[in-house]
Structure 1
Amino acid sequence: MSTADYKLFTPLTLGKDFVLKNRAVMSPMTRGRADPVTRGPIDSTAVYYEQRAGAGLIVAEASAISEQAYGWIGAPGIYTDVHADGWKKVTDAVHAKGVPRALETDEIPGIVEDYRKSAELAKRAGFDGVEIHGGNGYLVDLFLQSATNKRSDKYGGSIENRTRFLLEIVEALKTVWPSDRIGVRISPNGGIAGMGSEDNYDTFRYVLQQLSQHNLAYLAILDGFGFSYHDKDRLLTVFDAKTHFKGNVIATNSYTRDIAGGALRSML
């Protein structure tokens, strides 16, 4: 894949906070499929647009603003309640398929339960333990970081609230595995997928301190500048992790034998 192709599939923000998931835009094209009587969108209109929901932005076909504004046979309108209801089916179909949304508060326990079930299956499959992936812009990381967590419920706002989701997962997994068979991975410094928070250091210091209370098998940290450093706050290194997490720490980031040996000697 070329650099140009990669750029095409990166997000783009229009205005203040209208984020497109990619830079592919479907321009308006008159389809001539409106209801011949009401001139509103029909069921197949919703299907048509839903099938194209992978685009970052869809500009719907030109729609008449009044009866006298029609310039094309079969073109839709947007000047009656019937039209609005018809277009609502279209936008609902596209948004449901093509646009991510925040989890509702009452949906989160179900996600935690999914983690527990997966841990249970991992045990049945013969694994020796499980690791919670809390880094690299994945779901747990999205909850932890103020740059991405804009929730106003008990899972958002304060550092304590943003850490709640991770700690609930840890507690759920402890019903399946002994705590010393559970690891957690974090990447406090990475800028991948738009990550990086101005309260980076304080957030992950708190995360480390809370995880210390669970007697985990280990804490894995993407040390230093892996996946590009977001440069929004103080760098949190493996040495900081050892200070705030009382347990085994795994450091990852292109360690050579000599660098790894030096790090081990420094922390003994």
Structure 2
Amino acid sequence: MTDSVLFQTVEWAGNKLKNRMVLAPLTRGRAGPNRVPNKIMGDHYVQRAGAGLIISEATSISEEGNGWVESPGIYSDAMVEGWSSVVSRVHQAGSKMVLQLWHTGRASHSDFHNGELPLSASAIKIEGDEIHTPKGKKEYEVPKAMTVDDIQRTVEDYKKAAANAKAAGFDGIEVHAANGYLINQFIDSRSNQRTDEYGGSLANRYRFLSEVMDAVLSIWPAEQVGVRLSPNGVFNDMGADDYRETFTYVAQQLNKLKIGYLHVMDGLAFGFHERGEPMTLAEFRALFDGVIIGNCGYTQEEAEKRISDGDGDMIAFGRPWITNPDLPERFAHNYPLTAFDDPASWYGKSVEGYNDFKTFDEQSGKSTLEALS
């Protein structure tokens, strides 16, 4: 087979995961207008159940958190039922799955909210990009700065979403605090210019995430909870000069909670704010005692090195897994990868560009044993 470190088992939350490859959360917009997880979504995850751990696509904690056309939610009974079916099928296929909890914040538009402005830490819009809304492509808007009541309501939404995730049978949850979405908007000093207890100092800018963590940890054991961070990211107009100080502090605070994993987007494939040297997995290893997952643009060789060097425990792969549903098999046997150079069909309403990619055996017409001979 292979002696790659990617195929060593790893312990997480009392589970022995079969390998160190994580299916990264990939927002694909297949849930339909009702945002209820469906069969083709289940088919997609089952096809990729060779992963040691699957992180779901970003999933809205509330209607207020929506900001992506036809992405799924976890705030209704129908959504819980839909996700329950997906998780059951993933378990039958031999993998573990966590739900990523998402609120888009200012990375949304009033078209998603019956004309009401999206929410954020401060009334500062995303510059330089446009958003796909239910009514077409539009410029981002200046969001509404959240009141303390808005913040407390949203913390409660996270708690309810965490409870719904448990009811759906997930093996854990991941709090999405990366990529310029709501929690990241509070953490980052560029998007957070508040003067109350949620802005200014590191402790104040961390306060919203701290309260979210308290809420979800009242539902889930700490070892079954992860957090995603993007210290180097520029996506959704992120990046501040004090990024290293900020994310060092955030990692230290999360470590005190003894959560199960930290999912760090240390790679630069989605862009780098270039406000200094990029933060590395090695830096986070010195700050965090639990499982560390690296992500963003990793090749097999780079992933193996990070694990061999002890900087990370698992590596998440995203785009290569879109077009290669059997990615672990391809890595294990050194099969060629199907290129991921046509994103036009990745986001849509059908199986095209979603569930129609073939395994290596299907492409070659050979069994694994024949392919190896």
TM-score, normalized by length of structure 1? 0.64
Q: How many Å separate the matches in 2 of 1:122 and 1:199?
A: 34
Instruction: Pick the aligned partner of 1:238 from 281, 298, 314.
Output: 281
**Structure 2 equivalent of residue 187 of structure 1:** 230
**Structure 2 equivalent of residue 74 of structure 1:** none
**Structure 2 equivalent of residue 115 of structure 1:** 158
Superposed, 1:69-218 pairs within 5 Å as: 99-218=142-261
Contact 2:261 / 2:291 at 8 angstroms: preserved in 1? Answer: yes
Change (3 A) 1:114 1:202: same
Contact 1:189 / 1:226 at 8 angstroms: preserved in 2? Answer: no
Structure 1: runs of 5 or more not aligned: 1-16, 25-51, 58-97
Superposed, 1:3-14 pairs within 5 Å as: none
State the shift of 1:56 in Å: 5.4
Q: How many Å separate the matches in 1 of 2:213 and 2:267?
A: 25
Deviations 1:197-224 (A, max 9, x none): 1000000000000000111110000013
Deviations 1:32-74 (A, max 9, x none): xxxxxxxxxxxxxxxxxxxx9x9759xxxxxxxxxxxxxxxxx
* Cα RMSD after superposing both structures: 2.5
Query: Where does structure 1 differ by over 4 angstroms across 4 or more consecutive aligned residues?
Result: 17-24, 54-57
Higher relative contact order (CA 8 A, sep 6+): 2
State the shift of 1:234 in Å: 3.3
State the shift of 1:253 in Å: 1.5
Contact 1:112 / 1:168 at 8 angstroms: preserved in 2? Answer: yes
Contact 1:129 / 1:182 at 8 angstroms: preserved in 2? Answer: yes
1:133 alignment partner AA: H
State the shift of 1:135 in Å: 0.3
Higher helix share: 1
Identity of aligned residues (%): 39
Q: How many Å separate the matches in 1 of 2:194 and 2:290?
A: 31
Change (3 A) 1:257 1:99: closer
Q: How many Å separate the matches in 1 of 2:154 and 2:261?
A: 23
1:213 alignment partner AA: K
Q: How many Å separate the matches in 1 of 2:254 and 2:303?
A: 24
Q: How many Å separate the matches in 2 of 1:146 and 1:22?
A: 19
Contact 2:156 / 2:215 at 8 angstroms: preserved in 1? Answer: yes
SS at 1:194 equivalent:
coil
1:265 alignment partner AA: S
Structure 2: runs of 5 or more not aligned: 1-122, 312-373
Superposed, 1:27-38 pairs within 5 Å as: none
State the shift of 1:257 in Å: 2.0
Q: How many Å separate the matches in 1 of 2:296 and 2:129?
A: 31
**Structure 2 equivalent of residue 256 of structure 1:** 299
Q: How many Å separate the matches in 2 of 1:200 and 1:56?
A: 27
Q: How many Å separate the matches in 2 of 1:240 and 1:264?
A: 14
Q: How many Å separate the matches in 2 of 1:106 and 1:233?
A: 36
Deviations 1:100-138 (A, max 9, x none): 211012221110000000000010011111000000000
Contact 1:200 / 1:234 at 8 angstroms: preserved in 2? Answer: no
Instruction: Pick the aligned partner of 2:272 from 211, 221, 229.
Output: 229
Q: How many Å separate the matches in 1 of 2:251 and 2:262?
A: 8
